[in-house]
Structure 1
Amino acid sequence: MSSPTGPPVITLDDIRSAQQRIADYVVRTPVINCEVISKRLGCGVSFKAENLQHVGAFKARGAVNAVMSLSEEDARRGVVTHSSGNHAAAIARAAGLRGIPAFIVMPENASPKKIAAVESYGVSPVLCGPSTQQREQAAAELQQRTGAILVHPFETPAVMAGQGTVGLELLEQVSGLEAILVPVGGGGLLAGVLVAVKTIRPEVKVYAVEPALADDTARSLKAGSPQPPTRYDTVADGLRTQIGDHTFPIIESLVDDLFLVSEASILSAMRTIAEDAHLVAEPSGAVAFAGLIDNADRFAGRSTAVIISGGNLNFGDCQLGRN
């Protein structure tokens, strides 16, 4: 992969337009302030509860924006995508809202719950190998066969702009906000939040958090160019993907820091969110909070927002024990 040059593929205007376009189709998710956790960590902790979004994840935002942005001619062709789960369900839902076909590729190691979610919208996913290359190849073959429009899970600009609406809402919902922690896989959510937040309030710090077993963004930042994943077995299944060509330059230029977290930290964070904030987070959705717990001293006394990116938890897949 090679990073494109030139200006970012999305702007604040794109994100604001997305906010208007998707308003009738997504939830303006609440911010949950948890006094117990805030006292324990020594900072003000506000959870942006995207687990309460349609399809149980922030992906509903980008999918709706992308599908509703299509011309009538393109929409009639339908849409195709590849995803480990949440984006897949989001595209299936968005296509249904517009009344157009959806063709979806999912990795064979996707959560059964997420496969079932796609099927609940009347779409039977095509399964493939877990690597980014295998997903992209299967989606390309499906696109060639159907003539559908590709809506990439994080590289399509309209998807990135839709995800950026999370950042707009946070700035409106949390007064005196000083820091935001965002999980990163392909980088669509992180890139969108960065453009929104850093354009409006550049003094707000934005931190990426990534599983140590899916550290391609960390390695990419060190190398100065997108690096491929080396494995696909982190419990945070939504983050088993490669950082994007379009998302990486935005992240590289705007992110304040990146934290890597262990599998044990992710599982512990899930349990703490459930016990103390009374919210359900899937592993990927708990990654940002794991980063805050592991680096609490960096946030002492600061008003901090943590994005719970999804809540599609399959309880049979992991044990929420203290590790």
Structure 2
Amino acid sequence: MSLRAQVISTELENGTSLMTQDTIIYRFPKENITSKSLFIVQPTERCIVVIQGQIAADLPPGTHNIQSPANPLSAFLSKFRYSSLPYDTVVYFVSMTRHEVRVAGISQTDDLVPLEYEVAVYFRVQNPSLLVTNVQFSSQYFKDADLAGYINPIIDQEVSQVLNNVKLVDVYKKFSDISTAVTAGLKTFLNEIGIDLISVRVTKLIPQDPELRRILQLRDLGIEINDAIRLGLARILAERSDPSSVNMALGTPYFPQLSTIVIGGYYIPFGTPPTHASPPTRTEAPGTPTGTPAQPQIQSIQSALKAVFGGGR
């Protein structure tokens, strides 16, 4: 803040401004402003002077000398017979340029699918005196993020009223309905605090689950929904180094290591069970016909399985 010979402005000595791009209101840090103060208001600002809780002046861009008879502060001082400005004098600089606020939140569809949304709100201050008397300051600045806290409940209510009544497959057909609802709700509220709403735009509306987002992206690329789900599962398996991921992507069965399958009894996938000549001896494997080695028969069964089903290592 540059304060040279009671000059009150948002410009610093090095040429930079305290009225940054995201600043809506800047409050001058000192309240003991003398009657010889000179107010310099930049072309993109308005200056609101509050004395003892009352708005004494709304100064347009330019230079304003408090002692000038035409100055509204001089009329205020003469009305109350002040020889100088009282100690509790507060000066606000209000930005009159176009601002943008982005509000994000989470809602859900009629089929209980959580959705993340983001809404961009474009506005400018129409009545700076009304705005100053309707917002609260936690510091010297009232920024775009502070205004987002004011309008967040309204946007969340309007977005949820639309999303709670549609299915997930129809959500992306409701962009215009969401914009219309949010615009109607915000316009009334912002007008009450001196802000003119320019436009509203829905910038993001996606499922909260990242896997569901990828499946919807594959579907929008022209892939059938069942294939899109299978490809999503294949990606998860691939991240786990699971060899069945390729089979999942191709839609073919996966038979891991047929050599590990243990086949007991007299079961053979083809043909009829052999006839026993006598009970098996101690040197024969259980379930093996008499006089026939166990290992060659199991190997033949495994070969048959590989020939029919394929796969295995």
Q: Which structure is higher in strand share?
A: 2
Q: Fold-level match, TM-score > 0.5?
A: no
TM-score (norm 2): 0.17
- Greater radius of gyration (CA): 2
Q: Give the structure with the higher percent helix.
A: 1
Q: Using structure 1 for the length normalisation, give the TM-score.
A: 0.17
